[in-house]
Chain A
Amino acid sequence: MVLFWAPLQGLEDFLKSIFFRWISTVYVEVIRGTPILAQVLFIYYGLTAVNIGALTSAIIAITLNAGAYIAEIVRGAVHSIDKGQHEAGRAIGLTEKQTMRYIVWPQAFKRMIPPLGNQFIISLKDTSLFSVIAVGEVLYMAKQYYNSTFEIFETLIMVCIFYLIITIPTSIILRNVERKLDV
C-alpha cells in the first residue's frame, strides 16, 4: 500500500510546488510566443536524436500548441468563477479538492466551451502547416495531386470547401450549445 501511495503523494507534492507553477508558466509563454511552424520544424528536424516520424511530430506539435492556449482558457475560466463559490464550498465542509471538483470546475467548464470550440477550429486550420514536414494531411495531398495534374485552382477550391464543411457546422453547433447552456 505504501509502495502505491508514496509515488502519488510525491506527485501531489510536486504539483503543489512553485517549481511546477514555474514550469507551467514557461511552457505556456514559450509555446504562445513562438510560431507553430517553428515548433513543428523544431520537433521534426531539431530533435534528430529522438528520431520520431512526421505524423508523431505533427501530433506532438498540435498537442503542445493547443495545450498552451487551452491552459490559458482553463486558467481564465477558473479565475472567472466568483471567489464566493470557493468559500461556500469550504464553508459547507468540502475539502479544497472537492470544492474544485464539485463546485468550481463544473461552472468553469461551462464557460470554457466557447473558447474550446474556437481552439478546435484554430487547430484544424493549423494542421495545414504540417504539409512542410510531408504529413499527408489534406493540403499536402492536394499539392501532390495538382503537381501531377496541374489542376491547381479546382483542387484548392475543394480543400477550402473541406475546411468550411468542418468549421461552419462546428460554429453552428457551438452557438447552439452556448444558447442551450446559457453561457
Chain B
Amino acid sequence: MIESFLDSAYYRSLPYLWEGIQLTLYITVVGVFLGFILGSIAGLGRLSKINIF
C-alpha cells in the first residue's frame, strides 16, 4: 500500500508542490497580518460615534 503510494503520481508531485505550499502560507500570513493592521485603522476610522484617536 505504502509502496504503491510512493510510486504514484500523487507522491511524485509533492516535492514540486512543496515550494508552492510554503509561498502560499507566507503570502497568506503576511497579507492577513498587514491586512489586520490596515483594516483596524480603516475600521476605526469609519466609526462615526466613537472617536478613539
Mark A residues whose CB is within 8 Å of B.
12, 15-16, 20-21, 23-25, 27-28, 55, 58-59, 62-75, 78-79, 83, 86, 96-97, 100, 104, 116, 119-120, 123-124, 127-128, 130, 135-142, 144-146, 149, 151, 154-155, 157-159, 162, 166
Contacts and interface: CB of A to CB of B under 8 A. Distances in A.
B3 interface: no
A20 B24 CA distance: 33
A123 B20 contact: no
B32 A119 contact: yes
B39 A158 contact: no
Contacts of B45: 15, 20-21, 23-24
Contacts of A162: 17, 21, 24
B47 A59 contact: no
A130 B27 contact: yes
Contacts of B23: 55, 135-138
